[in-house]
A and B are shown apart, each in its own frame.
Chain A
């Protein structure tokens, strides 16, 4: 078991290193003078800035030296400087990332809490009216673009009914909890989209398990349907879902990007959106690296969750 984790951790490190290489290559692929591209056209008039930039990032050295230099900066948390926003990328992310984590975290938890029972319910009532209804709903949310869902939310619940605010909480992390009414719509929007995905998986995973022989064995023992579902089917059906959540972090984050833009929610996604509009390359790359690392961690967590839930994986080496 421990060997398994160590091996998985080493793999994760390798993948993250690869990600940094790709990011570095992207950085170098920006056409024209890197310094100007990164510092912005105004730097053109200031050769000293360019020289300082070239020296800091070692643009006068061979590319692999540059890479290791850049990697060293990265390791120290130095992700570069956004001249557009006049702030270091690290401090920008330091403000924005927690807000995105809150948004993604709360909405994922809500989506799971709703999707798991509904998926199981659909499987039990397979091909009945309730199943078809939820299937239609989840397809609707799955297919509808996030910005559309978000806009409808604003129109209905904010503009018409005045129940919640049309914009996400604008302050720091604390405002998310004080202005929870403003947080509601972004969370619900993102939760609806992820719910659609999770409930589909939960339904099919439950269906797979419900026809298994061991479920029949449980019934033959005299267990009630309720007990069969909760004690036997649920745990086995959750195994693929745990993996799914981990593996879908990029998908959820990209959903967050759009949700944040629709609600002007000052998280990492909105930051990315703004940076892309303003061609703020250091910020873009900083966000990319964070998302990449989150993805790797997500799949690591998925593997560990899998091993914890499934004894066949846990004991494979013993």
Chain B
């Protein structure tokens, strides 16, 4: 059978004012009918440009300069505009990353879906809307007939993405291109949308191109994968082979940079593989292999000539002179006993830091009496924060309140990392802001280093604010773009009146070293830095005042895998060298698990489970934690396909009127009547401080679990 889509030697350029970006440089791809092809790579590698080339929807200045794209037997690079309009939305549909901005805000969703039916099928308004109702039902929109009159802003993010999918599918295209379809969504919604796409693909027999940066998403969904780097496909093969036996050094490096692959227990020093440097500038691509500058196996010959596509067995292609992995296909067995570079590094690391390894042994109780050798640095008790909901433009009447944090207690031992996970809107960011003092709690106490923060004098508070620092997801947005880095870093010292100017400059120079930035960078402005460097700057600024604790709110969420690994490694190094304590807030469970000693799981303002990282990750007690773990995609096709559970169903309820009793009950598969009547207390399940709040936990508490004070207190205050 002829392939549905055959891209041959595609070249796409984007002409800018002064230069030309060679965005796609000789890409070859095929998609069979009904197949799901995954395209992965870091930002700027050309994966989205490939998708947009197929749609011929390139941004301003973009042109296809060579090669052919044969879709269903016709070369679409030669089609005139009108013929191309017949292809778009009809033969091939596309869904985009951000469902909020990708829908027309002033048009009802019914009209938007009906539009393509009317364009391609000549349907009248009525028939178009009928078809809209039909496809909305197909994509799982509840009560579609009532929904077609809605505007996009009246729907949740997940529902909007369903509308996008319905729109792309309305004319039953043979090919669906999904460009990062779930990146803007929460993990639980991500799972639901991916399931839906899979399901629709099978039912409608269409082919899908899934473009994503997330190897986990690819692992569970794609039949074949193309890995892109610097505008080229560097490796293609079926998904199982790629994950088991990557042949291109870039693919291999990507896997090793992923925290999911780390098998050592939490708390043990381990390092992710660092891909040094950044992808090349595509306005003047380097000669020879484009990955050479970052490749650990590069030889002189790599820099001179570009490797051609090599065929391993049929259908496993890669561009490398010195491929890694095994030529034969019995690779998985080999993989297990041949230590990778990362593993070797991790071993060396472990030896070097012998003393720091048995972390959990020195912290027998994470939420107990705090009588650890290191002691408790931060203690949060019965923290409550409500945000008023107001109505009216001038007279802000209070019409209700959002229960953002509802009676949360936990402790963070000195020098350890507490990882806080949960969906967006669960209150994890608010907790971070309360701890650094950006927000005032309605009730409860925060004790830091033995001092109750609420009882501090103004001076004490100023000193305190130096000891706990906040690091943001987007450090760049929090920096004054007109200040040089030196000024930005010195500012906290000046405000806190610490040391002479010379001392301050010395301190800054030392910090730059610690975070791995050159001294010359001090004279530059924030916009001159890349994403990863900006996060280094963010860390540098947080460290200037020598804090004992850093609250890091999604510090790596906006970064590419290779850069994420650099920052996570850096954070671990800094912790080791300075004895830092982290509160690491993230939606990404695998990153949290990699970095944390203790994990706390938040749901709608409640801490539902907390305990030593591996206990929580490998033996969750709360149904929500279990659902979350099943929901997060792992970069392992075998594991991913073996998953049976559906993950967490439904959407997060409103925190204005949270469900009575257990707040998770509206989405819990195990919920009983009592869950609606009585709030489950946080109670211990092991003697090591593994607590969870559930009436019907996934397993019973161990006999010697005991009942630490926290649980009793929670019982007393809970249940309203």
Contacts and interface: CB of A to CB of B under 8 A. Distances in A.
B490 interface: no
A209 to B, nearest CB: 10
B102 interface: yes
21 contacts: A217-B96, A217-B103, A220-B57, A220-B94, A220-B168, A221-B116, A221-B119, A221-B167, A222-B86, A222-B90, A223-B85, A223-B115, A224-B85, A231-B115, A232-B104, A236-B104, A236-B105, A310-B105, A310-B106, A311-B153, A312-B153
Interface string A213-235: 11011111111110100011001
Interface in A283-318: 309-312, 315, 317
Interface residues of B, number: 35
Contacts of B86: 222
B151 interface: yes
Nearest to B97: A213
Interface string B83-101: 0011111100110101001
A212 interface: yes
B98 A312 contact: no
Nearest to B90: A222
A265 B391 CA distance: 48
A45 interface: no
Contacts of B292: none
A318 to B, nearest CB: 8
Given A213-B98, A216-B96, A315-B154, A221 B103 contact: no
B114 to A, nearest CB: 10
B120 interface: yes
A7 interface: yes
A222 B121 CA distance: 12
B311 to A, nearest CB: 34
Contacts of B116: 221-222
B82 interface: yes
Nearest to A316: B153
A318 B127 CA distance: 29
A314 B153 CA distance: 11
Nearest to B153: A312
Contacts of B55: 220
Given A11-B394, A223-B119, A225-B81, 7 more contacts: A217-B96, A220-B93, A221-B115, A222-B85, A227-B119, A231-B115, A232-B104
Given A213-B96, A224-B82, A219 B107 contact: no
B164 interface: yes
Tell me what chain B mostly uses at the interface: helix, strand, loop, or mixed. mixed
Interface residues of A, number: 27
Interface of B: 55, 57, 81-82, 85-90, 93-94, 96, 98, 101-107, 115-116, 119-120, 151, 153-154, 164, 167-168, 391-394
A38 B397 CA distance: 47
A236 B152 CA distance: 14
A224 B167 CA distance: 16
Nearest to A223: B119
User: Which of A212, A221, A235, A239 has the most B CB atoms < 10 Å from its CB?
Assistant: A221
Contacts, number: 82
Nearest to A215: B104
Given A220-B88, A221-B167, A309-B106, A214 B57 contact: no
Contacts of A220: 55, 57, 88-89, 93-94, 96, 168
B105 A311 contact: yes
Nearest to B120: A222
Nearest to A220: B94
Contact of A311 (B96, B151, B391): B151
A69 B93 CA distance: 70
Contacts of B393: 7
Contacts of B167: 217, 221
B153 A315 contact: yes
Nearest to A233: B104
Contacts of A235: 106-107
A81 to B, nearest CB: 38
Contacts of A312: 105, 151, 153
A227 B82 CA distance: 12
Contacts of A309: 106
B391 A221 contact: no
A2 B93 CA distance: 40
Contact of B88 (A222, A232, A239): A222
Contacts of A236: 104-106
Contacts of A225: 81
A302 B393 CA distance: 16
Given A213-B96, A216-B96, A222 B87 contact: yes
A317 B168 CA distance: 31
B153 A214 contact: no
Given A221-B89, A221-B115, A222-B86, A214 B103 contact: yes
Contacts of A227: 119
Given A221-B116, A221-B119, A221-B167, A214 B88 contact: no
Contacts of B104: 214, 217-218, 232, 236
A13 to B, nearest CB: 14
A310 B104 CA distance: 11
Nearest to B170: A221
A317 B154 CA distance: 11
A214 B105 CA distance: 8
Nearest to B85: A222
Contacts of B98: 213
A299 to B, nearest CB: 13
A287 B103 CA distance: 47
Contacts of B94: 220
Contact of B151 (A213, A216, A315): A315
A85 B276 CA distance: 86
Contacts of A216: 57, 96, 102
Given A213-B101, A310-B105, A312-B105, A222 B164 contact: no
Nearest to B100: A213
A225 B120 CA distance: 15
